[in-house]
């Protein structure tokens, strides 16, 4: 009787141990981390070079006289002539904007060591206007006209692109297509095929700010007598897109 009880106890312990082993194996399988999904991260760039189609020129009139009134009157006369010349060259009134108007006394200074204060010898009046030319082919004609009319200061020429937003859309599309093409190449080289996109992020879109071409101020005696050749060159519009795709086995 005792032997039978001992045998039953041994069998019970064996079954219990087998059950624990099975539970442990099942638990280990359940807790195992799933296999990581292969991914590829790529960056695509889209770029277009275009000629600027708009220019902004800063032209001015500087006059000097012994009185502020005389200098202001002279300046007003020349400035009006300059704006009329711009209109004759095809510039619309809304495309002319006053940037600066100033009246400054001019001084003569006594010799060093003298106790005499500086003396006012006259007044200088400066009037600067920004002109927007929407046809760069006419820019030289505008410059020729305004300088002959009395503008003795040309500060700068800024070249811009009028409809840059459409170009931004185009380079952004190019960047996204290039990113996907690169991802497909990498997946194929890895013996896999491209899956779904996990994330797509737009990078900074670069388009040029106005490109200034500095000009020298000219005195009345050194007015430009002929239209100068003007070239706006080319400007670059660029966009980037960074994308993350899954990669899946072939078949």
pLDDT tens-digit readout, 137-174: 899 899 999 999 999 998 888 888 888 888 999 999 99
Give 226's DSSP letter.
S
Q: Which of 160, 188, 214 is the last residue of a domain?
A: 160
Nearest Cα residue to 101 out of 83, 76, 82: 76
Write down which residue in 160, 180, 195 finishes a domain: 160
Per-residue pLDDT, 178: 97
- Residue 190 included in any domain: yes
Whole-prediction pTM: 0.65
CB atoms within 10 A of CB 208: 16
Kindly state whether residues 201 and 155 are assigned to the same domain: no
Query: CA 5 to CA 184: how far, in whole Å?
Result: 70
Q: Same domain for 153 and 89?
A: yes
Confidence of residue 131 (pLDDT cuts 50, 70, 90): very high
Mean pLDDT computed over 29-56: 82
The strand pairing partners of 57, in sequence order, are: 131, 157
pLDDT digits (tens, 9 = 90+) for 175-225: 999 999 999 999 999 999 999 999 999 988 887 665 555 454 444 434 444
pLDDT at residue 202, as a whole number: 93
Inform me whether the pLDDT recorded for 18 exceeds 70: no
- What's the average model confidence in pLDDT over 108-130? 91
Predicted pLDDT of residue 212: 54
- What average pLDDT does the segment 28-45 reach? 75
Residue 15 has a pLDDT of 42
Is 239:206 a contact under the CB 8 Å cutoff?
Answer: yes
Report whether pLDDT(26) > 80: no
Same structural domain, 74 and 121: yes
**Residue given tokens 């290039």 in the structure block:** 178
Residue 196, domain extent: 39-49+166-205+241-249
pLDDT of residue 116: 86
| CB atoms near residue 225 (< 10 Å) | 8
> What pLDDT does residue 110 have?
85
Residue 114 lies in a domain: yes
Strands (E) in 66-191, as ranges, are 96-108, 119-133, 153-160
- In sign, the C-alpha dihedral spanning 125, 130, 135, 139 is positive
Residue 104 has pLDDT above 50, yes or no: yes
Please tell me the predicted confidence (pLDDT) of residue 82. Answer: 96
**Number of compact structural domains in the chain:** 2
Which of 160, 179, 197 finishes a domain? 160
Percentage of residues of the chain with pLDDT beyond 90: 57
Q: State the residue for tokens 């009006």.
A: 80
Least confident of 4-8, 163-167, 242-246: 4-8
Per the structure block, which two tokens stand in for 206? 């670069």
Q: Is residue 14 part of a domain?
A: no
Contact present, 48 and 100 (Cβ < 8 Å): no
Q: What is the pLDDT of residue 16?
A: 45
* Cβ contacts of 60 within 8 Å, gap of 6 or more: 100, 126, 127, 128, 129, 151, 152, 153, 154, 155
* pLDDT tens string 76-89: 999 999 999 999 99
What is the pLDDT at residue 210? 58
């Amino acid at each position: 009787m005792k032997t039978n009880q001992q045998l039953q106890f041994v069998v019970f312990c064996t079954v219990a141990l087998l059950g624990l082993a099975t539970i442990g194996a099942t638990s280990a399988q359940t807790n195992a981390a799933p296999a990581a999904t292969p991914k590829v991260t790529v960056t695509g760039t889209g770029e277009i070079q275009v000629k600027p189609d708009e220019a902004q020129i800063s032209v001015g009139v500087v006059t000097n006289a012994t009185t502020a009134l005389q200098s202001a009157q002279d300046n007003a006369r020349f400035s009006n002539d300059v704006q009329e010349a711009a209109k004759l060259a095809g510039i619309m009134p809304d495309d002319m904007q006053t940037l600066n108007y100033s009246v400054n006394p001019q001084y003569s200074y006594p010799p060093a060591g003298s106790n005499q204060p500086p003396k006012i010898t006259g007044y200088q009046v400066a009037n600067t206007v920004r002109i927007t030319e929407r046809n760069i082919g006419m820019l030289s004609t505008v410059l020729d006209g305004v300088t002959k009319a009395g503008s003795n200061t040309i500060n700068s020429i800024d070249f811009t692109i009028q409809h840059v937003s459409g170009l931004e859309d185009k380079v952004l599309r190019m960047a996204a297509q290039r990113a996907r093409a690169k991802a497909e190449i990498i997946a194929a080289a890895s013996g896999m095929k491209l899956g779904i996109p996990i994330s797509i992020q737009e990078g900074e879109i670069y388009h040029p700010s106005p490109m200034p071409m500095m000009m020298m101020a000219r005195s009345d005696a050194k007015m430009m007598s002929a239209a100068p050749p003007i070239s706006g060159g080319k400007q670059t519009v660029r966009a980037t897109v960074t994308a993350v795709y899954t990669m899946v086995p072939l078949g």
